[in-house]
Copies of this chain bind each other. A is one copy, B any other.
């Protein structure tokens, strides 16, 4: 009787979930269609990304070969091709010019400040030209930077021209004269061999990761495999290096190696706290660094657009938290506490799990509630960004532009937000039948989350 009640509850929850998934699939699909059918011209809708362009014959540039190839295949709809060019050098010069411009603006603000304060003359700001402004000749900042810019401008022009003709990479954006032609072409095979002329939808211009575009297909596959391997090892065995680090760097050893810490470490209060929390601190640092690490790993896979990198990183992060929070805690706590029983009676593992797993519900219950109240509270207050902003404004920012740059709220961090929400979905769905009381907390989590995400997004825009 109890079995049937649970089974029918499982089916009920599953079918409701499928129904809601189907509804939201339709909803999202409609949103996407509406966004795509707005009349504004977006360049990515008329373009496709071509990679793995084969080496052209010696009398052709890459641009010529791309042009002729696609003009032959799409005689009516081909508009033009833009070959990806390696402008690292030109970009370096450009960045230097921009840096000098910022320095001038900063220096002028400082100069104006000094004028009003004491003398009408003011002190013209100066700096030294050597390493980090500490050594070398002392120069007037504003004049010096203006001269530098004048020097750099013709160099930039030269570098640009030579890059356009000589440093073409084996990747290109091909533009068509209609949306339909571009969409259709980006889904069509363009070459007999799989490793040449691979095409894809063009990402938005601001999202392109230029460094990844010229990577060859074999390079991409190798990188992907290596990255997956690293992620697997990280997900499964991340506790090992952390335990090892905290074992090696006990307080005693730290004192030996870094004697200047002795003054701090020898105080009994600090000593106790550190000794008790060193492993936890290592863990917290690891967890704080992990999302960034995953993003940079995903980026090195050779993915051409920023959003796809974020998506790949959030997938990896989801594996990590599901494996370590959901499966790790559920199986771990049940098995360890009942290890003796299982060893004595191996086939009884199902029975053991069945009696022990519901006990975990309390933990996940607390987990969801904490995420709901404390997690969102922290996010709403945005305490850390506030502190950083005020520090920056006090000690660093002089011009209006610099203040604005410091105030920018950053992106919504999808790469941790989505997997965390998915973890809550997983937990709530899995325990919804065993302890239905978790459901209202799940609903509260997503209802609050919807409001808060809307608020943050409005502030950000």
Contact = CB atoms under 8 A, between A and B. Distances in A.
Interface of A: 26, 29-30, 33, 73, 76, 180, 183-185, 187-189, 192-193
A72 to B, nearest CB: 10
A34 to B, nearest CB: 10
A442 to B, nearest CB: 28
A29 B193 contact: yes
One complex includes copies of this chain to the number of 2
Given A183-B188, A184-B185, A188-B188, A193 B26 contact: yes
Contact of A29 (B26, B30, B73, B192): B192
Contact of A187 (B189, B192, B193): B189
A32 to B, nearest CB: 8
Contact of A184 (B30, B188, B192): B188
Nearest to A183: B188
A29 B193 CA distance: 7
Contacts of A187: 187-189
Nearest to A77: B76
B33 A180 contact: no
A176 to B, nearest CB: 12
Nearest to A186: B188
A319 to B, nearest CB: 25
A185 B189 CA distance: 11
A223 B21 CA distance: 23
A384 to B, nearest CB: 41
A33 B192 contact: yes
A337 B411 CA distance: 64
15 contacts: A26-B193, A29-B192, A29-B193, A30-B192, A33-B192, A73-B180, A76-B76, A183-B188, A184-B184, A184-B185, A184-B188, A187-B187, A187-B188, A187-B189, A188-B188
Contacts of A185: 184
A26 B189 CA distance: 16
A18 B297 CA distance: 29
Contacts of A189: 187
A106 to B, nearest CB: 51
Nearest to A75: B180
A184 B76 CA distance: 14
A25 to B, nearest CB: 8
A181 to B, nearest CB: 9
A-B residue pairs, 10 tightest by C-beta: A184-B188, A187-B188, A33-B192, A184-B184, A187-B187, A29-B192, A29-B193, A187-B189, A188-B188, A183-B188
